[in-house]
Structure 1
Amino acid sequence: MELQRRTGLEVRRLPGLQPYAGTWELQRELVLKRRRDEIPDTLLLLEHPPVYTLGRSARDASNLGAGEEYLRSLGAEVFWIDRGGDVTFHGPGQLVGYPIIRLKYREAHRYLRDLEEVVIRTVGEFGLEGRRHPDYTGVWIEDRKIAAIGVKFSSGWVTSHGFALNVNTDLRWFERVTPCGIREYGVTSLERELGRRVDLEGVERGVVRHFRAVFGVD
């Protein structure tokens, strides 16, 4: 595991494709440690193998397209989890960030906007104008969603889950479900918007830099 230490923030880049179940359990462990002040604020950065996750807003499987068994037959896992939001996809070429941090402020709305700001600044480095949508959480390029956000707040206002930024993601996986329960808009990636493959490590560096700036961990 590659480990970078920052003042007030520990950034962990988990190597390879990290199975979803393992990182979900890791988040739970880190939340308990952060709540007890055994670790500093931590940002996990990673990629997953193909997996669909459904948050607390997914009351049924209506947004799962042909259903769980079909999606599993394609080689994807399916998890019903404890974050906010509906169904989304994680997979290779997508940068996933799981902040395990104790919020200095007690405002869920502000935290979501801050996560969006991190992504907006990151995609801005590639000449793209990221924006917020008035009705939906996440980051958009015009009417195309490039980053999904779904979080959980534990006691003591310690956060888990986080954001997923499509970098070189195979967007065909999204066509098999209704991402975030939004039927009227599509999804995109840095690769699609720029017309070329994008260096994922460069995106990671931008995310870390802007995360530190937005959350004031310097």
Structure 2
Amino acid sequence: MRTLTIHYLGHIDYTTAWEIQRRLARERSHGQIGDTLLLLEHPPTITLGNKAHPEHILATPAELAARGVAVVQSDRGGEVTYHAPGQLVAYPIFKLSQHGSDVGRYVRGLEESVIRVLTSYGITGERVAGLTGVWVRGGVAKICAIGVKLSASGVTTHGLALNVDPDLSGFELIVPCGIRDRGVTSLAVELGVAPSLAEVAERLIASLCEIFDLRPVNALS
């Protein structure tokens, strides 16, 4: 069984994490490392994917500056999303040829990993036809956003953002993922109490390894 090297980065700004991803993706492409997973939290940040509409940022630059919210144009797929402390962000750096070579199947695997985490908490997570991510309450509220990039050499970057206990008011600054008629929620809201990010991370690692047939090992640094 292949291994999955886990790096816990803690609180880290988006652009720094992005540069780390790009470096690791180059190393993965050249066979210098195996599959790798970054787990982290971002400070308040709005990111725009390659299908984003700038008008889906509802706040003015002055309002964003006053709230300390950064805005970053990303190269991931998808629309506009929001990151904040209390949100568990997972960036898998995978060689896709070892996982079926199908990016759609890969994204479904990420969704399934989150659905299994939610199930472990007694929450029914689900997919919504035509939309990416994981939803609850019959698809009316999104709990996990997913946006990925596949390099020319077939290595994945970016990934998923699972709302554990972020300040959800930040999502009012945007049209989340370009969807106006559905809400956003978190594990804390659905459970009435917030589990620890570390606990959720361990459950996510377990489900990712189960789905992608990997064995987790912690990085030495």
For 1:118, the aligned partner's letter is S
Could you report, residue by residue, the CA deviation over 1:47-96 in whole angstroms, capped at 9, with x for unpaired residues?
A: 011101000001x4110002344323211100001000011011100000
Residues 13-24 of structure 1: pairs in structure 2 closer than 5 A? 13-15=8-10, 17-24=11-18
Residue 172 (1) aligns with residue 165 (2): no
Aligned to 1:195: 192
The 8 Å contact of residues 123 and 130 in structure 1, kept in 2 or not, is answered as: yes
Residue 55 (1) aligns with residue 49 (2): yes
Q: CA deviation at 1:13?
A: 0.8
Gaps of 5+ in 1: 1-5
**Alignment TM-score, normalising by the size of structure 2:** 0.93
Q: CA deviation at 1:7?
A: 4.8
Q: 2:66 aligns with which of 69, 73, 86?
A: 73
Residue 136 (1) aligns with residue 136 (2): no
SS of 1:173's equivalent?
helix
**Alignment TM-score, normalising by the size of structure 1:** 0.94
SS of 1:210's equivalent?
helix
SS of 1:197's equivalent?
coil
Could you report, residue by residue, the CA deviation over 1:150-207 in whole angstroms, capped at 9, with x for unpaired residues?
A: 0000022100000000001110000111000000100000000011121111100000
Could you report, residue by residue, the CA deviation over 1:12-59 in whole angstroms, capped at 9, with x for unpaired residues?
A: 1112x101110011111011000001111000000011101000001x
Which structure is richer in relative contact order (CA contacts within 8 A, separation 6 or more)? 2
SS of 1:9's equivalent?
strand
Residue 85 (1) aligns with residue 82 (2): no
Aligned-residue CA RMSD in angstroms? 1.2
SS of 1:128's equivalent?
coil
Residue 45 (1) aligns with residue 74 (2): no
Could you report, residue by residue, the CA deviation over 1:84-143 in whole angstroms, capped at 9, with x for unpaired residues?
A: 001101110000000001012221110110000000001111100000010210000021
Q: Distance in 1 between matches of 2:108 and 2:115?
A: 10
The 8 Å contact of residues 72 and 78 in structure 1, kept in 2 or not, is answered as: no
Aligned to 1:115: 110
Q: 1:207 aligns with which of 204, 209, 212?
A: 204
